[in-house]
A and B are shown apart, each in its own frame.
Chain A
Amino acid sequence: MSKRVRQQADVNVIECYQCGKCTAGCPVADRMDLRPSVIMRMLQTGDAVSEDEILRSLSIWLCLTCETCYSRCPMELDIPKVMDYLRQRSLAEGKVHRDAHDIVTFHKSFLNTVQNNGRLHEMGLVIDYKLHSGNLFQDVMLAPEMFSKGKLHILPERIKDRKGLSRLFKGQTKKPKS
Chain B
Amino acid sequence: MKLGFYPGCSLTGSSREYTESLLAIAKAAGIELVEITDWNCCGATAAHNLNHELSVSLPARNLALAELDGMEELVVPCAACYNRLVMTQHELGDKPELKALIAEKLQMPLKNEIKIINVIQFLEKHIVPRLDELIKAPLAYDVACYYGCLLVRPQKVTNAARFEDPMTMDVIMQKLGANAIDWPFKTECCGAGFSVSKTKIVGELSGKIVRSAVDRGAKVLVVACPMCHSNLDMRRPAIESYLNRKVDIPVIYITQAIALAMGLSPKQAGTHRHFVPVNLTVNRLN
Contacts and interface: CB of A to CB of B under 8 A. Distances in A.
Interface of A: 27-28, 31, 62, 64-68, 70-71, 78, 84-85, 87-88, 91, 102-108, 110-111, 114, 118-120, 122, 126, 129, 133, 138-139, 142, 145-146, 149-153, 157, 159-161, 164-165, 167-169, 172-173
Contacts of A31: 201
Interface string B25-68: 00000000000001111011111111111110110010000000
B13 A153 contact: yes
Interface residues of B, number: 55
Contact of B198 (A103, A110, A139): A103
Interface in B198-216: 198-199, 201, 205
A106 B196 contact: yes
Contacts of A139: 196
B257 to A, nearest CB: 19
A107 B46 contact: yes
Interface stretch (B146-154, B244-252, B258-266): B146-154
Interface in B230-286: 234, 272-275
Most buried by B among A68, A102, A126, A139: A68
Nearest to A30: B204
Given A27-B189, A111-B50, A152-B13, A103 B194 contact: yes
Contacts of B43: 111, 114
A88 B196 contact: no
Given A161-B38, A172-B54, A120 B44 contact: yes
A152 B13 CA distance: 6
Contacts of B38: 118, 159-161
